[in-house]
Amino acid sequence: MPELNKMNIAVEANDGTLFEYAAGVYVTKEGEFRVDLDERLADIAEKMPRIGTGVTIDYVARNKNWKVSGKTLGYVATFIRDCAKEYLTCETEIHRVIVYGHNLEVAVWLGKDGKLYPNGCDHDGKWFKTDVSSNRGVSFYSVGLGAAVYDKTVYKRKTGATVTWEYVRKSDDPVIKDLNSFTGININPERDDYQQMPYTPEAAAFFYRMMLGLCRLAVEMDSFFGDKERLQLAISQGRMLEYRAEARMITP
């Protein structure tokens, strides 16, 4: 059979999953078109209604492939695309979650006596669980926190599941509005260093207070270390920056 130009079969699902392949197109002496059918669609094609489509399906043993035949090429192409749409059909679940994570850039020795030390010299214990060390240094020790509310959509198919994420930008829930109002932070829910939990107003309020508390600490540290007289006075008096994070985070 003469082969015509290949036909591109492409169907995209709502979650962005793309089913695509280049189908060989042939024509018989009788003027019937025969188009290669991706084997993933074979079971669906056999079960799909064909009354009125003018198409037939058969397996060509010598070529070890499936073909869809019909007098009208457009009908054949439409039938194959309908099979692909059915193949991509899935069960959709939407979950509202809080995506959160923390990042610690410190190097400290945890002594068996319960105290912290700059290193393990002369003290039994172990390093705290960060990868900051003499082989990997940082310019400043830091503690990071990030959290936001997302809608997680799960598309379930026989072939597996895919997930998409949507940042909640509008909500009548004031707690979501508070937590998702922080700017300048880029959270990627698909990164391994982020976790997730089901959304509850209590959880959102907790993370809001935690992040606002961290921001308050940043403001107070800047004020403390930016005021040389205050810093020198604290040094002379042996005082440290006083900050009661727990108490302040209870009522932002």
* Structure confidence at residue 44 (pLDDT): 87
* Structure confidence at residue 243 (pLDDT): 53
Contact criterion met (CB below 8 Å) for 57 and 66: yes
Each as own residue / partner, the long-range contacts of residues 6-11 (CB below 8 Å, 24 or more positions apart, any chain) are 7/35, 7/73, 7/77, 9/38, 9/77, 9/80, 9/81, 9/84, 11/81, 11/84, 11/85, 11/88
The parts of the chain modelled with pLDDT lower than 70 are 1, 159, 242-252
* Structure confidence at residue 111 (pLDDT): 94
Q: How many CA atoms lie within 13 A of 35 on its CB side?
A: 30
Each as own residue / partner, the long-range contacts of residues 67-76 (CB below 8 Å, 24 or more positions apart, any chain) are 67/34, 67/35, 67/36, 67/37, 68/34, 68/35, 68/37, 69/32, 69/33, 69/34, 69/35, 70/32, 70/33, 71/31, 71/32, 71/33, 72/33, 73/7, 73/25, 73/33, 73/35, 76/33, 76/35
* Structure confidence at residue 244 (pLDDT): 52
DSSP 72-108: -HHHHHHHHHHHHHHHH--EEEEEEEEEEEEEEE---
Domain spans of the chain, in order of start: 3-88, 94-106+141-250, 107-140
* Structure confidence at residue 24 (pLDDT): 94
Q: What is the pTM of this model?
A: 0.70
* Structure confidence at residue 156 (pLDDT): 85
* Structure confidence at residue 174 (pLDDT): 95
